[in-house]
Amino acid sequence: MTSVANHARIRPATPDDAEAIASAHVSSWQAAYRGLLPQDVIDRNDLASRTATWRRILAARSDVLVAEAADHTILGFAGLSPSRDEDGDPATTGEVQAIYLAPPAWGQGTGRELMAAAVARLASTGFTRATLWVLDTNARARRFYEAAGWSPDGATKSDDRHGTPITEVRYARPLPPHASQAGTWRLGDLTVRRMGFGAMRLGEQTGRAVEVLRRAVDLGVNHIDTAAFYFSANELIRRALAPYPDDLVITTKVWPGRHASGEWYWASPAQLRGQVEENLRALGRDHLDVVNLRVPPSGSTGSIAGHFAALAELRDQGLIGHLGVSNVTPAHVAEALAIAPVVCVQNRYGVGAAPAEHDFVDACGAQGIAYTPFFAIATSDPEPAAITETAAAHGATAAQVRLAWTLQRGSHVLAIPGTGNPGHLAENVAAATLRLTDDEMALITTVAKPQET
């Protein structure tokens, strides 16, 4: 996965990066330890030997991230691994073996983004805790780690490999939940994590939208649902995430639209090209990963063939990668499949759905079609006892239980909860770790059924 910092692109290192990483390593090491280690030790850290070392490392392992400037200069790196400590569990504890940033990049925010990416990478591997070691007298580094959420855990060790005794202090931190813990699904040839993000609310939260979007990617989200008619959502996505992470999949939708006056309209088949191009411009892309045809409420019993065929033609022209449908019936899906492949259905669905809607979800799974509910965490007042009691049993919120129930309805079900609040975002992603029992699933499903009269 590639993530994007304010001033750098964070990506996995390749063997071709060896010399550039070595250069950043040497300059950072010499600047960081000047005055903390003897000068002869500082001087021994030369570029040639570091380059040779990095060539060996990168030929054998892939758990190194680099921060790369727009001109492709390597600004720094982070090396990751399972815990190497005798008292550490390598199955649950990851380690930041090293993190260095060339001095010209200090104080620019790139170090924070590199550390965030390192933490996210460890979390995506399944670790729940992370550690690192730091020289006890390196006050600058210790301030940096503490500002990033790390704290000493009481462990220390002595090291004299540089010819002079030094003491290192171990820092630790819990790892945040990660979207990968929900599993993945393929939309055609695109692999997405089943815990995604819906952008509908971003236009109402422009002040925090960029922060929330970047945080979502840090937490492993690689599937974002949007639309040109979501106010300024597409522009905010572009501002926050372009150049886009390599694995990011953006799904948008067309048919509804807004005139410059703000007035709503429903596009004709011929107007769909303009809506697709509007999304392309706002997102800054040359093609759209997935486009859903959003059917108007008045079209619930009518044909979608003309509109879907128009999108299929745009797909054939390379403007669209894959097609989906939204706000549809099983008959609509059958009609669309007769024209072109359908990778996803996006409908309103969640706790409280009618039996026919549960059947539709199951039918999509049987056909290998993703089902992406919107308003999956819409709450009721009061919440059903099955929700509140399950939440209490797991130490979770009602929204998290609703999300967990939705995800456990099938491996083809994708969640796209939206929020403009970073705290709520973390809670939503944490629902990926919540596992409801069969009895809890059945109970929640049962109370969703209409009462017999």
Neighbouring CB atoms inside 10 A of 106's CB total: 16
Kindly state the tokens that stand for 443.
Answer: 């109970």
Kindly state the tokens that stand for 356.
Answer: 């026919």
Rg (CA), the chain: 25
Active site annotation includes 171 = no
Which residues lie closer than 8 Å to 186 by C-beta, 6 or more apart? 192
Exposure of 67 in the CB half-sphere (CA atoms within 13 A): 28
Contact status, residue 100 vs residue 33, Cβ threshold 8 Å? no
Which residues lie closer than 8 Å to 207 by C-beta, 6 or more apart? none
Sign of the CA dihedral 143, 146, 152, 156?
negative
Question: Exposed, middle or buried by CB within 10 Å (0-12, 13-18, 19+), for 447?
Answer: middle
What is the residue whose two structure tokens read 């001087």? 43
User: What are the phi and psi torsion angles at 31 (to 5°)?
Assistant: -70, -40
Under DSSP, the state recorded for 166 is: E
Cα distances (angstroms) measured from residue 330 to each of 292, 303, 336: 15, 12, 10
Neighbouring CB atoms inside 10 A of 342's CB total: 26
Pick the catalytic residue from 100, 171, 230, 371: 230
Question: So which residues are the catalytic ones?
Answer: 230
